[in-house]
Amino acid sequence: MKPSWHPVITEGKSLKFEPDVTLASRLDLSRAYTIDLTRSLRRLAFKNVRRTNAVVDSEYNSGEWDRVLNQRAWLGAPTLEEFLIGQNSASRLAKVDGRIVWVTTRDYYQYRIRALSELIKLHAGSSTSLLELGAGYGYNLFSLSLDPHWNRLRGFDIAPNGIAAGRQIASHFQLGDRISFDRIDLTDARDPSFSELAGGTVFTYFCIEQIPYAVEAVIENIIRARPARVVNIEPGVDMLKLSQPRDFTSRIYIRSMDYQTRLFKLLDSLDVQRRIRVLARERMGFAPTLHNDGAFVCVGASLIKEAGGQRV
């Protein structure tokens, strides 16, 4: 039997949730940075990861999204909110409101629901609908659905297991009228799903990081699709201060994973060329781990529409 709870009319309690946190000590941070840095250096030395399509598929479509699809954890959750938050009460070091703190995993992910919606609302203009590129099984979209502000959420991904899981979750929680999923290959300029971006508000969340050798092509494809606004939440190494241990550790982690490192410089150059207009740029105020603290949000890239080759 499907639950009677429906976020279309019921606001998620997480939108008012304040997590119980303890500020991390210098010793805590020193130990954590040392461990993280050691792992990254070992990865560089012995694995030399190259983020190819096969690697991304094994980590996500055949890995994480396959696990989500087969476990079907949403079937045992009384509400969508409980499914998203999970049952893990172990403490972790995470970034909450710009501070590195100790927080339970459950509290962090409950806090994240509010933090993500506030971040996107701040930079999405007047839009009440969103399209996510690289949505996976829709964790971000389902989180956003707990905020009644968002009345239409659409996710695109290349991974069939992610799409299948997202559709099943939406159906289970009776969200088919608000959340939908479809396939897109961001590297293929001819993909028909690009037509749906026209005039819309689009966001990415650690999606472009997975295609470091196709960044320019993907951005060109998005520009060509003419969305009204794009919010890119991705690694931004140009904003790191390498004299700070946290940032240095993050930079080595990003390099060891072979994530993209040039997106924001590319957007800056397109802004200079007056092909796009970068509206804002800021550092993420929340992250689940220390090495994800190396990820930032470049907000905006309000795409300039052209008519007859002229800026309008």
Asked whether the predicted pLDDT for residue 223 surpasses 80, the reply is yes
**Per residue in 236-259, pLDDT tens?**
788 888 888 888 998 999 999 999
Asked whether the predicted pLDDT for residue 197 surpasses 90, the reply is yes
Cα atoms found within 13 Å of the Cα of residue 237, Cβ hemisphere only? 16
Task: Please tell me whether the overall predicted TM-score, pTM, comes out greater than 0.85 for this model.
Answer: yes
Which pLDDT does position 283 carry in this prediction?
Answer: 85
Neighbour tally for 236: CB within 10 Å: 26
**Per residue in 27-41, pLDDT tens?**
999 999 999 999 999
Q: How far apart are the first and last CA of the chain?
A: 52
Q: Strands 179-183 and 152-157: what pairing?
A: parallel
Q: Is 241 exposed, middle or buried (0-12, 13-18, 19+ CB in 10 A)?
A: exposed
Cα atoms found within 13 Å of the Cα of residue 302, Cβ hemisphere only? 11
